Chain A
Amino acid sequence: MRFEYAPAPESRDVVDIKPSYGLFINGDFVDGSGTAFKTINPASEEMLAEVAAADEADVDRAVTAARKAFESWAALPGRERAKYLFRIARIIQERARELAVLESLDNGKPIRESRDVDLPLVAAHFFYYAGWADKLGHAGFGADPRPLGVAGQVIPWNFPLLMLAWKIAPALACGNTVVLKPAETTPLTALAFAEICVQAGLPPGVVNILTGAGATGAALVNHPGVDKVAFTGSTEVGRLIARSVAGTGKKVTLELGGKAANIVFDDAALDQAVEGIVNGIFFNQGHVCCAGSRLLVQESIAEELLDALKRRLGTLRLGDPLDKNTDIGAINSAEQLARIRSLTESGELEGAERWTASCPLPDKGFWFPPTLFTGVAQSHRIAREEIFGPVLSVLTFRTPAEAVEKANNTPYGLSAGVWTEKGSRILWMADKLRAGVVWANTFNRFDPASPFGGYKESGHGREGGRHGLEAYLDV
């Protein structure tokens, strides 16, 4: 049975996008010295705004501003820093609808997700770390742990404002000042956040936002005035950063790629598992580093599960990200769409069997329908490389030991999922899986109180929880 849905678009009127944006340095919006670039709506390819690009001189100005602000920000009593962060959290809640729409416009993600997942988590993250600012002496890092100084932070385009929150909230709570570079394709919510800093009365220079591409990020990471580098993005760039900070004494945390196994045993609650698989790989168009991109299903139920999964995928609605009924939004950029296409083509060439949900794709914008591959071998590129799109590779196993062996057969180690009704098996699996987050009978859950981060080539350091403080303290 197919249900027809009338369009239910969220209003764009709540956002006021300016024709052009500058850099946010020392509390002011200033012109950038690099060549300005355009940010577009990936669902329509319409231009949203022109954004300044920061060059090395701009980076230097921002780092200098952050350095100057550091002295007094670090000297501020923790309870005062806390209050600034609480203010920011409140303003985010007040402007949540506007920010959600802006995020969906710039990123392409469904409004249902930006409204119900991204924004609530953004506010929660600031609330959580606000509360730590005057309790650092109780966090287990000594009586009076000190901040590091200036944090240079580079974030990706998949959760633009949420990744900003993950970076800025703990950094400020611990007494650091920051220079943050949002992703080239999704700068708008970070620039809105700069306005929020102004509204909150945050002292100038405590937060600086530099827009630009990879060169801006490299200049920031390599600036000698930066004491701490925090990066979320690809393992490839993470490697370059780890190499470039060698011997400098800069503290580094890296949240990188993943190729998570989502493991379904024959006794799992099937309908719940199907929902979990869908949430695991089709949430945010699969633009999720911890996405459950490898489905490992026990052989005896593979057929039944795949039938149910395909049936469910047939009901997903792809289209206008601002439509409240939309499940699958737009791919963030033409470049990412090309990468997804190239990897799915390799899946076919290497002999895996492709199945794609039949759904009409809009004429304009960047789209990729929910797709799964069966008959995938562990050596296939689609089983080893991060696709970062709505593409699921399905493998089978017979025994728990085989499931563990296959799940761990990857250089990544960010997350994993386990579906079974047997408690002791969950704990055994959780123990054996080499991954920083294990979701049992659930998937893609996030909370500011819960540490997140990877094993192996998925990076080092944790974000969230008490553990997340360590990245921003001189300990």
Chain B
Amino acid sequence: MSETGRLAVRKTYKLFVGGAFPRSESGRSYVVSSSKGDFLANAARASRKDARDAVVAARKAFPGWSGATPYNRGQILYRVAEMMEGRRAQFVAEVVDADGVSARKAGELVDAAVDRLVWYAGWSDKIGAIQGAANPVAGPYFNLSTAEPTGVVAVVAPPFGPLLGLVSVVAPVIVTGNTCVVVASERAPLPSITLAEVLATSDLPGGVVNILTGHTGELAPWLAGHMDVNGIDLTGCDPDLARTCEQEAAENLKRVLRPAKTDWLADPGLDRMTTFLETKTVWHPVGI
């Protein structure tokens, strides 16, 4: 009970799949505690079936999202940043709870997350110019290489940095036109669901980002082995899990981004975008 004697209305934290907020079909949940050990919530513990449903939703969203103009995708990512800014106080409180940092530090991290989205939003209609090329072939041919999204990407979000880390792995995947299924930080999943509420109100089509909370070690291998997933970002996996997932990913030759030590406040570079881009080269004869 608060000082005014009013009982707070708590939030139920559910999954985010296809633009909706379902509970896990398994009916399971798990206890999420603050960095001090206090009870925060019972988060949904997603199952294999939830992961598969999320892949279906992501696949369904892919043609529309990859076919949207880069300008449109950039505007939507910028809109996400706007919505996050409006919920700044809520995100700060959640980051303080999750990571035990000071409110001031949490504020910096939330600001960095918003700024990161703005940064990636601007890439939507520029990455193609950097990655594409008009190739000077030795013959009478028009020859053009362009960058295209890989498809459905599974993203294992980092366990720490539940907001900045999350935004830093999701934004580069979707800005280029991929859709994704995210396994949120197992120990601190709550900011991911608050982010889902932001995504749901930012004109982002349902299914472009799907967020699963639960046990990383349980969910990641299913996604790594899923034959309708085209790529996987293993950032949030420990070395053993990363190895297992990379082995599973070989089954349909997924593009794999391996885990690496990352300073989330540093300039991200292009790797997180380019890993999940394909180069398509089109030839046509020149003549009259």
Query: Chain A residues in contact with chain B, CB under 8 A?
Result: 124, 140, 235, 238-240, 242-243, 246-247, 249, 254, 256, 411, 426, 430, 435-442, 445, 447, 449-453, 455-457, 459-460, 462, 465-467, 475
Residues of B within 8 A of A447 (CB): 135, 137-139, 141, 143
A457 to B249, CA, bound (A): 11
A212 to B145, CA, bound (A): 36
- B145 and A467 form a contact (CB under 8 A): yes
- A437 and B285 form a contact (CB under 8 A): no
Residues of A within 8 A of B280 (CB): 430, 435-438, 455
- B243 and A246 form a contact (CB under 8 A): yes
Asked whether A449 and B136 contact (CB < 8 A) given A239-B253, A254-B253, A457-B253, the answer is yes
CB proximity of A279 to chain B, nearest CB, Å: 13
B141's closest neighbor in chain A, by CB? A445
Asked whether A441 and B284 contact (CB < 8 A) given A450-B143, A457-B253, the answer is yes
Return the contact of A247 from the options B246, B252, B281 (Cβ within 8 A).
B246
A108 to B143, CA, bound (A): 31
CB proximity of B78 to chain A, nearest CB, Å: 25
B14 close to chain A: CB less than 8 A: no
B246's closest neighbor in chain A, by CB? A246
- B284 and A440 form a contact (CB under 8 A): yes
Of the A-B pairs whose beta carbons lie under 8 Å apart in the complex, a sample of 20, sorted by A's number, is A140-B130, A240-B250, A246-B249, A247-B246, A247-B247, A256-B253, A411-B252, A436-B280, A437-B282, A439-B282, A439-B283, A441-B284, A445-B139, A450-B137, A450-B145, A451-B133, A460-B253, A465-B135, A466-B133, A467-B279
Return the contact of B253 from the options A235, A436, A440, A452 (Cβ within 8 A).
A235
Residues of A within 8 A of B156 (CB): none
B271's closest neighbor in chain A, by CB? A475
Residues of A within 8 A of B244 (CB): 246
A447 to B142, CA, bound (A): 12
B243's closest neighbor in chain A, by CB? A247
Known: A247-B242, A435-B280. 12 other contacts (CB 8 A): A242-B246, A246-B250, A436-B278, A436-B281, A438-B282, A440-B283, A449-B138, A449-B143, A450-B143, A450-B145, A457-B252, A460-B253
Return the contact of A430 from the options B249, B258, B282 (Cβ within 8 A).
B282
Asked whether A449 and B137 contact (CB < 8 A) given A438-B280, A440-B282, A442-B285, the answer is yes
B207-251 residues with Cβ-Cβ distance < 8 A to A are 230, 239, 242-244, 246-247, 249-251
A241's closest neighbor in chain B, by CB? B250
A440 to B285, CA, bound (A): 8
Residues of A within 8 A of B243 (CB): 246-247
B255 close to chain A: CB less than 8 A: yes
Return the contact of B135 from the options A254, A256, A451 (Cβ within 8 A).
A451
Asked whether A450 and B253 contact (CB < 8 A) given A243-B247, A438-B281, A439-B283, the answer is no
A426 to B251, CA, bound (A): 33
Q: Which range holds the interface residue count of chain B?
A: 20 to 34
Asked whether A465 and B283 contact (CB < 8 A) given A247-B242, A254-B253, A447-B143, the answer is no
A449 to B255, CA, bound (A): 24
Tell which of B136, B250, B281 has the most Cβ of chain A within 10 Å: B281
Binding site of B, secondary structure by majority: helix, strand, loop or mixed?
mixed
Query: Chain B residues in contact with chain A, CB under 8 A?
Result: 130, 133, 135-139, 141, 143, 145, 150, 230, 239, 242-244, 246-247, 249-253, 255, 258, 271, 278-285
- B283 and A450 form a contact (CB under 8 A): yes
Return the contact of B283 from the options A442, A462, A466 (Cβ within 8 A).
A442
B240's closest neighbor in chain A, by CB? A247
Residues of A within 8 A of B145 (CB): 450-451, 465, 467
Residues of B within 8 A of A451 (CB): 133, 135, 145, 279, 281
Residues of A within 8 A of B279 (CB): 436, 451, 453, 462, 467
- A242 and B250 form a contact (CB under 8 A): yes
A427's closest neighbor in chain B, by CB? B282
Residues of A within 8 A of B136 (CB): 449
Residues of A within 8 A of B253 (CB): 235, 238-239, 242, 254, 256, 456-457, 459-460
A137 to B274, CA, bound (A): 18
CB proximity of A458 to chain B, nearest CB, Å: 8
CB proximity of B10 to chain A, nearest CB, Å: 41
Residues of B within 8 A of A246 (CB): 243-244, 246-247, 249-250
A256's closest neighbor in chain B, by CB? B253
